Amino acid sequence: MGMKRYIAYGVLSVGLVALSACGGGRGSVGSIGSGNIFGGGGAKQETTATGGLRHEPKAEEKRSTIWDLFENVDDPNTTVEVNKYIWNAALDILNFMPVEAADPFSGIIVFGYGTPPGGGRAYKATVYVRDPSLDARSLSVALITRGGGPASAEATRAIEDAILTRARQLRIADGKR
């Protein structure tokens, strides 16, 4: 073997030892009883009255690393990030339209075409509730006409105002001021 290969093995060995020293986290680097170089050995051993060893595993401590920033700890099946009053108000106000799809976890309700009471033009709506606060910024409504064009800004604004008014009424009726 050549000298380059010995140097490569030496650098690799030093790198592995240095890397394994970073993984422990249970004591100082040179402490006795901190486990092996890969971070194991967190168990507690005692002698019993009969002279045998009793092994009690130590509970794992929650460690914080840089990789925890990329971990989603919320359970997506229980975490709902939409305002329930705006959600229910949208269903109440747009009850003349059939609901095609609804996802409370993302906050999107898609309505099919429907004609409002006393109106002559059919609309299709998509409602996006994007925040848990009861605020106008939490609500977005997109209306399109049967012809595929966007509805007027006044019609969209009227729907948004009606939904927010109804949401406030629902909140007051629920007793949460």
Q: What is the pLDDT of residues 7-66, one digit of tens each?
A: 877 777 777 666 666 655 544 444 444 445 445 555 455 555 544 555 555 555 566 776
Q: What is the pLDDT of residues 105-136, one digit of tens each?
A: 889 999 999 998 888 889 999 999 988 888 88
Q: Pull the structure tokens for residue 18.
A: 């240095």
Rounded to 5 degrees, φ, ψ at 14 are -65, -40
- Residue 39 CB burial class (10 angstroms; 0-12, 13-18, ≥19): middle
Give CATH for domain 84-174.
Answer: 3.30.530
The domain spans of the chain are: 3-70, 84-174
